[in-house]
Amino acid sequence: MRKIGKNQLTAREILLDPILCLAFGFGSGLAKKAPGTCGTLIAVPIYLALVQADSMVYSVMTIVCSIVGIWICGIAADKLGEHDFGGIVWDEIAGYLITMWFVAFSWQNVVIGFILFRVFDIVKPWPIRWIDKKISGGFGIMFDDVIAGLFAGGILLAINSVFLVV
């Protein structure tokens, strides 16, 4: 049985712990390969549900997801015994919601937003890489993905305005 984190938790322990289950994106972060991408994939149906509501509900839920994520990711890191463990993907969920925040719904935007967010989250251009290395705790885990989401969302908005992708 695979042990996860320095504190050697099992997948069962993670899924049965409400905070860890959220931090691991309802289990998507348990993927052996590309857990961040799997976590972002879980964000897509969450986005699809929230985009049905008005922009105020979407905004409030995105802000709540981001703020509560600081707490969720911090506790998860403590329980695992390591900072920013790859399986903690709540930050990817929040980052994708931020990417899509001010963008009109279209399937093209869903896909392009997904790709842009993953690129920024993986490549980590400045200041994302600096934030990832220098800021610790739940805030550090969340903040680099918030910035990646803002960058990806800004580029997606620019693409939409130039190419009228909607």
Question: pLDDT tens digit string along 93-142?
Answer: 999 999 999 999 999 999 999 999 999 999 999 999 999 889 989 999 99
Rounded CA-CA distance 22/76 in Å is: 9
Contact 98, 151 (CB under 8 A): no
- What pLDDT does 165 receive? 58
Instruction: Give me the helices (H) in the chain, please.
Output: 11-16, 18-23, 35-50, 55-80, 90-99, 107-123, 128-134, 137-163
Judge whether residue 166 has pLDDT over 60: no
Q: Is 96 helix (H, G, I), strand (E, B) or coil?
A: helix
pTM (2 d.p.) = 0.95
In 3D space, the residue among 104, 98, 106 whose CA is nearest the CA of residue 148 turns out to be 98
- What pLDDT does 83 receive? 87
Judge whether residue 1 has pLDDT over 80: no
pLDDT level of residue 90 (50, 70, 90 thresholds)? very high
Question: pLDDT tens digit string along 10-43?
Answer: 999 999 999 999 999 999 999 999 999 999 999 9
45's CB contacts (< 8 A; 6+ apart) are none
